Each structure stands twice: as structure tokens, then as C-alpha cells.
Structure 1
Amino acid sequence: MLKRIETLFAHEAAGGVVLIMATVVALILANSELAALYTQVLHLKFTIALGETGLSKPLILWINDGLMAIFFLLVGLELKHELRAGRLRTPSNVVLPGVAALGGMIAPALIYLAFTWSDPLHRTGWAIPTATDIAFAVGVVALLGPRVPPALKLFLLTLAILDDLGAILVIALFYTATLKPVYLALALIPVALMALRLWLGAHRIAPTLILGAVLWVLVLKSGVHATLAGVITAFFLPIRDRFGKSPLHALEHGLAPYVAFLIVPIFALANAGVSLNGLTLADLAAPLPLAITLGLVLGKQIGVFGATFALVKLGLARLPEGTGWLQLYGIAALAGIGFTMSLFIGSLNFEADAEMNAVRLGVLAGSLVSALVGFAVLRLAPHRAKTGR
């Protein structure tokens, strides 16, 4: 029995399935007699204080700012690994998915702005439909098995990783509150100590992670979004130590199941609870949810597929081996599954319940349509397509 459970959780689609289950539970709670309790629990305040200094936040912000910092730590570990020893190390492997990722961020943002430009409050959420959820997208691809060529899976993974990098840059540049220079200056101290430890070749990672926790508090106090502390910490962890082992790789593999099966589902449980009571087509057609839905569905398809098509036709790149245009279009559709990162960016933009409910509605609708379209296209596409130009 234990072996069967381990095999089940080791499957590529397992993380996506758990994420779907957490989303369904959130929707049930938000639309049941427990809705008031669900909201009340998420807004319970938790305080950690030392004397008169401390942090006091509602539970949902501890999840979004705290637990998601661990999520971003894992993203940072994956990025460093790929840049130093993986597929992002070779520039030729980055060109096609890199341009596709860029197109997949620009087109959704433009579509979103086309629907919200007249509203100064809503247009600040332009980055919401620019993200791709790796767990969901890879989960759908895993369900298709050998119908998706290995090179195309690699293309999707690289695109999603670069998409995450783009999201990190967007958060750093556009989601910074009023800066507090004193805390920002203090944050340089743990960064300098982490850099010193890396330069000295220190192989123990616990001190660096403790410094990362200190950095998280200082960055949070400075006005810069605290989750970026996770990414910064990851880049100061060594890929190789003096014993020939990889602390970074070990931490990446150790964290991955906790992030996939605990942290991200908790985030979904806290953020995906959209109230469907009294929902009408007019609500779906309101500017904010419609902008997000169309940004994810049409924007990602136009951006990812269009950028790839242009690059290949100009002779600057080739399609992934064994891949046809229809299959690539299916992957472009799957890139519109924005769930985790889209909800996260939405929470950075809007605090009011009405706006966040609209964001959840748009993200869920856009991600669901993208998943269904992508799955259907890849399911119907020829199993063995010729590599094209």
C-alpha cells in the first residue's frame, strides 16, 4: 500500500491533482454554510513580536507573504540550477522558449489593458494574466503521456521557468510599496553575509537559510515584496561544496514535495475561494474578470504561438524535435493556465473582496478554458509529427 502511495505521489500529474483538489475544497467552502467561518479564519490576525517590534498580519497574508517565500525559494533554486548546470546554461536552448515566454507575457498584458485602461484601479493588474502555472501545465501534459514529444515537454518546462523569472522581475519592479531606506540598508547585511559564506565555500546551508529568514523580515519591513527574499537566498546556496556534493540540489529535491503537496495547495485553499452565489454571465463579462480570462486564453495563445511561429519562419530557430505546429499550439494554450502565480499577483494588486473575487473568477475561468483547449488540441494532434520550420 505504501509503495502504491509513493508511486502515486511520484507521478508528474500528482502536484496538479492535489492543487485541483485544494481549489475544489476552497470553492465548496466559499459557497457553503461555512463561507463566513472560512473568511473569518483567513482574516484572523497572528502576531510575532519582540518587545515593541514585531509582525502582525492576517492568516492569509502569512500564507501569501510567508509560505510563498518558500515557494519562491524553490523557484530560485530551480533557476540557479538551470542557469548553472541545466538547459538554461546553453544560449541556443533558451532562444525559442525565451522569445515564446516574452511573447506570452506581452500579449496577455496588452489584452488586459485593452479592457481596463479606462479604470486607473484595475489597469494596475496588467501582470495577472502573464503567468504560467508549472504544476498545472505539466500535470495536463503528463496525462497525455507519449502523445507529447519529450522535446516539447522540455520546451514547456523551459518556457514556464523563464515565465517565473519574468514574474519575479515584474514583482520586484512594479509591486514595491513605499520604500523604507533604513530597512533596505539593513537587508544588505544578511545578503553580504550570505555572499561571504558562498565565497568562502561554506558547505552547511542552515546558516544561510537563517540569514534568509532575517532577510525576509527586513525586506518585508522595507516595502519591497518579501517573497523576493526567497529567490535571493536561493542564489547564495552552493551548487557544489568542498566534498563534491550539491547542497542546492539536495535542498531543491527536499523542498519540492512540500511545496507541491503542502504549500501550493494551502495557497490555493486560501486564495481560490470565489463566491458563486448569484453569479451571472454579466459578472463574467465585467471588465476585470473578462480581461484576465481573455488575457490567459487568447493572450497566451497569441503571444507564445505567434512569437514561436515568427522566429521559426524567420529561420532563427527550429521547432522542438518531433513537434508539429498543432502540438505547439496546444502547448501555447496550456501556457494560459495561470493559476498560482496569477492569483498571487492578483493579491498584490487588490485588497478589496469585490476585486479579489473578480480576479479569482477570471483566473479560474481562464485557466480552466486554457487547460481544456490545450488538452483537446494535444489529444487530437498527430502522435508523430515531422519537425518543421
Structure 2
Amino acid sequence: MKNAPLFKSFFDSEKAGGLVLLFCTAASLLLANSSISGAYLSMWHTPIGSQSVEYWINDGLMAIFFLLIGLELEREVYIGELSKIKDAILPLSGALGGMLIPALLYFAFNFGTATQHGIGIPMATDIAFAIGILSLLGNKVPLSLKIFLTALAVIDDLGAILLIAVFYTKTIYFTNLLISLSIFGFLLLMNRLKVTNFFVYLVGGVLMWYFMLNSGIHATITGVLLAFAIPFGDGSPGTISYQIQHWLHKPVAFIILPLFALSNTAIVIGKDLLHTITENYSLGILFGLVLGKPIGILTFCYLAVQLKLTKLPKNLSWKKIAGVGMLGGIGFTMSIFVTLLAFEDNEIINNSKFMILIASLISGIIGFIWLSNVLKKKNNVALE
């Protein structure tokens, strides 16, 4: 595997980042429901310029997270698990099933209601949390399983990004969009001319983000576009793409995503929990993530192998893929992100976030227990 050192760096940062996210989420929930709840909630709505702290985290800092996702996707396409069509089909199939089936389950609960627009909420997998849970299993986890989960989650995030760009854009200001895309075109030209000066892409990226922010299309899309404008070269440690991706791992894992978690999980838990859990959108999120994800991922992977479009890697089994499917039900970052775009009612947003946390917790627990048993049995057989 050509990019093994960078993959290990990515996996390790996401692994530790997942545990940090877990701590931040728990802390934020406790503070939001404590005696200092009012002060804690208002802190995230403190204005900086014309917008709140929470806004700048979601629309500004998260663009850097999307840049990292884009760089990882680019690397996978050029020299990673997605570079060979035959190898890419398995995680592609899993990701497709992991998006379609949860979306259908959500739609089934919310068809014809005011909340059917939230169909994209259960479609995404949180890389940091999923890898964080997988890492708790230690050295028992084969490398092929780590790679499969990472590739699946990266493709999943790309699907969520496309969803945001196409379905969650209300009004488009074409002049600003055209300027932003023109800057993107200029950066692609610099790429073709083999310009590797970091500041050219930094300045271009900031300008592209500014005009995209004012175009009506969510500004975080800029991160992914910028990733594909940055020269990849041969993917070696000396390339600008490698260096940026390597440098971004820790700031994203330990600053940006924790800030996102803290600001977006400041959820006041209402007294009428039964009412919250039985809302149509709540059931759609719960069943979409907890059931839809593993069913979709396992079924579509199985069909791809049966149709001989791809084959199961040597160290993978259907039980392991089922376990990955369960971890795929950890939506968190992208699910919350889509929630903020799908709904305007604060109560629905708050309740949806709460259900995402519940569904992600259930998925993480059953995925961990399932894989722990599967990998334990395999190791016992190997010892015998």
C-alpha cells in the first residue's frame, strides 16, 4: 500500500479524535442541562461581526474539515483503495447501500410531512467516531477492515457533500457562484501548470470560500473543490497535497471537530422524551441509522460480490462487514450538519440532534459488541 504512512497517520488522528469527540459531546450535553445552561447556550450565539460563533464554526472552520475529506478522497482515488475499479466497487457498493436504504426508511416515516426534507440526515457516517470505536478493539482489527471502513466513510461523506450542494441550496446568487467557480478554474489551471506554491492555493481558497458563502450554496463545498485543485503529484511526502493533508490531521481532529461537537450538541433535553422519540422524523433518524445503515451496507456489498463485480478481500468476512455496517450508523458530524440545513424550526433541530446522538450511541455499542465477538472467535480459532 503506497500511502500506508499517511493512512496510518490519518487513522491514528481519527482514532484519537473520535475519543475527544465523545468527551466533548458528553461535556456539552451536561453543561447544556446544568445550572449554567443559559450562559453556556448563549456563548455559542455570541456575535462575531455579523454572525454568531456557531455560524463561523459551521460555515467557516468546517470548510477546513471538508478540505481534509477532499484530500483523503483524492488520495484514495489516485493511489488508494479507490484507484482500481475492481477494489473500489466493494466500498462504493457499501456506501451506496448505506445511503439509499437509510434514506428510504426515513422517507417511509416522513412522506408527505413537513419533515420529509430531512431525508439526508441518516445517510452519512462519521469517520472520526466510527474509527474511534473500531480502534477500541486494538490489534485484533485486520488492516483490510480499517481500510474498508475508511474508504466507505469517505465515499459516504462525498455523497453527503453532493446532497448538500444539490438538495439543500434554497436560493442561488449566480454572480457570486460564477466568481467562485472562476477562481476554482484558475486554481485548476495553476495545477495544470504545476504551480506548487502553497499561498496561491491558500489565497485562492479563501476567496473561493467567500464568494461561495455569498452564493447561496453552502460554503463548506469549497473545501472539497479546493482539495481537487491542489496538485497531487505522485502522492509522495514531498508533494503539496501530502504535506497539507498531513498538517491538517491534528488541527481538524483536535480543534475543529471538537468545537463543532461542543457548539452543536448543546442540546437541552426536554421533559417529554417519549413524545420526542416517537415523532416521525425521530423514528426516521433512529431506524435509518441503526437499521438502515447495516442492512444497506451488507446487502449492497453482498450483491456486488454475487454479481461478480468485485470480490471479498482475504481478511474480510460477511460478519465483519456487518459489524462495519453497524458502525456506519454513527452519523454525528455530517448528520447534524444536514439537520441544520434541512430544518428551520429550533425544536425540530434540537430533537433531531438528540435522536442522532441516541442512534449513534446505539450503533456504536452494538457495532463494538458484534465486532468484539467476531474478532475474538477468529483469534481463538487461530490459536487452536
CA contact (8 A) 1:289 1:358 kept: yes
1:288 matched to 2:281: yes
Q: Which residue matches 1:139? A: 132
Which TM-score applies when normalising by structure 2? 0.91
TM-score by length of 1: 0.90
**Cα distance change, pair 356–127 in 1 and its aligned pair in 2 (3 A):** same
Aligned length: 369
| Alignment-derived partner of residue 105 in structure 2 | 111
Does residue 383 of the first structure (1) align with residue 378 of the second (2)? yes
Aligned-pair RMSD on alpha carbons? 2.0
Q: Tell me which of 165, 176, 194 is aligned to 1:201.
A: 194
Matched, 1:344 2:330: no
Which of residues 230, 235, 248 is equivalent to 1:237? Answer: 230
The 2-side partners of 1:385 and 1:82 are apart by 33
Q: Per-residue displacement from partner, 1:32-68 (whole Å, max 9, x unpaired)?
A: 1222112212222222xxxxxxxx2222111110010
Secondary structure of 2:137 counterpart? helix
Residue identity in the other structure for 1:26: S
Q: 1:25 aligns with which of 27, 31, 36?
A: 27
Q: Distance in 1 between matches of 2:333 and 2:155?
A: 16
Instruction: Kindly indicate whether the alpha-carbon contact (under 8 Å) linking 2:237 and 2:243 is maintained by their aligned counterparts in 1.
Output: no
Aligned counterpart in structure 1 of residue 251 of structure 2, from 255, 258, 278:
258
Task: From 340, 352, 355, give the equivalent of 1:359.
Answer: 352
User: By how many angstroms is 1:245 displaced?
Assistant: 2.4
Which one of the candidate residues 186, 203, 219 is aligned to 1:210? Answer: 203
Query: Whole-Å Cα distance in 2 between the matches of residues 149 and 27 of structure 1?
Result: 34
- Residue in structure 2 matched with residue 53 of structure 1 by the alignment: none
- Which segment is superposed worse, 200-209 or 317-326? 317-326
Corresponding residue of 2:96? 102
Which residue in the other structure is 2:266 paired with?
273
Tell me, which stretches of 5 or more residues in structure 1 are unaligned? 1-6, 48-55
Distance 1:379 1:244 in 2: 35
Q: How do 1:15-94 and structure 2 match up within 5 A? A: 15-47=17-49, 56-94=50-88
Over residues 228-249 of structure 1, what are the superposed CA-to-partner deviations in whole Å (9 max), with x where a residue is unaligned? Answer: 11111111111239x9921010
- Residues of 1 paired with 2:139 and 2:272: CA distance? 40
Answer whether contact 2:76 2:151 (CA < 8 A) is retained. Answer: no
315-324 or 37-46: which moved more?
A: 315-324
CA offsets, 1:141-184, max 9 Å, x none? Answer: 11112332221221111111111111111111111121111111
Q: Distance in 2 between matches of 1:208 and 1:280?
A: 48
* CA-to-aligned-CA distance 1:60-92 (integer Å, 9 cap, x gap): 111110010010011111111111222211111
In the other structure, the counterpart of 1:174 is 167
Q: Give the whole-Å Cα distance in 2 for the aligned partners of 1:311 and 1:73.
A: 30
- 1:105 and 1:385, CA in 2 relative to 1: closer, same or farther beyond 3 A? farther
Q: Equivalents in 2 of 1:203, 1:110: separation in Å?
A: 44
C-alpha deviations, 1:264-288, integer Å up to 9, x for none?
Answer: 0100000012212414223212212
Give the conservation status (yes or no) of the 8 Å contact 1:152–1:323: yes
Whole-Å separation in 1 of the counterparts to 2:355 and 2:96: 22
Which of the numbers 245, 249, 266 marks the counterpart of 2:242?
249
2:51 is paired with a residue of what secondary structure?
A: strand
Assess, with a 3 A threshold, how the Cα gap between structure 1 residues 215 and 306 changes in structure 2: closer, same or farther. same
Which 10-residue stretch deviates more, 9-18 or 84-93?
Answer: 9-18
Q: Deviations over 1:343-385 (max 9, x none)?
A: 1111111232201111111100110010011001101113259
Which range moved further: 107-116 or 170-179?
170-179
Runs of 4+ more than 4 Å apart: 9-12
Q: 1:27 touches 1:273 (CA, 8 Å); kept in 2?
A: yes
Q: Is the 8 A contact 1:113 1:126 kept in 2?
A: yes
Q: Structure 1 counterpart of 2:124, which letter?
A: A
Q: What percentage of residue pairs aligned between the two structures are identical? A: 41
Instruction: Give the superposition deviation at 1:197.
Output: 1.5
Query: What is the aligned partner in structure 2 of residue 3 from structure 1?
Result: none
Which of 36-45 and 173-182 deviates more?
Answer: 36-45
- Note closer, same or farther for the CA distance 1:11–1:130 as it changes in structure 2 (3 Å cut): closer
* Alpha-carbon contact 1:133-1:340 (below 8 Å) kept: yes
Shift of 1:118: 2.7
Q: Is the 8 A contact 1:46 1:59 kept in 2?
A: yes
Bigger drift between 131-140 and 31-40 goes to 31-40
1: distance between equivalents of 2:79 and 2:254? 26
User: Which amino acid counterpart does residue 27 of structure 1 have in structure 2?
Assistant: L
Residue of structure 2 equivalent to 1:310:
303
The answer as to whether partners of 2:187 and 2:229 remain within 8 angstroms in 1 is: yes
Aligned partners of 2:281, 2:40: CA distance in 1, in Å?
24
Q: What SS does structure 2 have at the residue aligned with 1:245?
A: coil
Find the residue that maps to 2:238 and give its secondary structure: coil
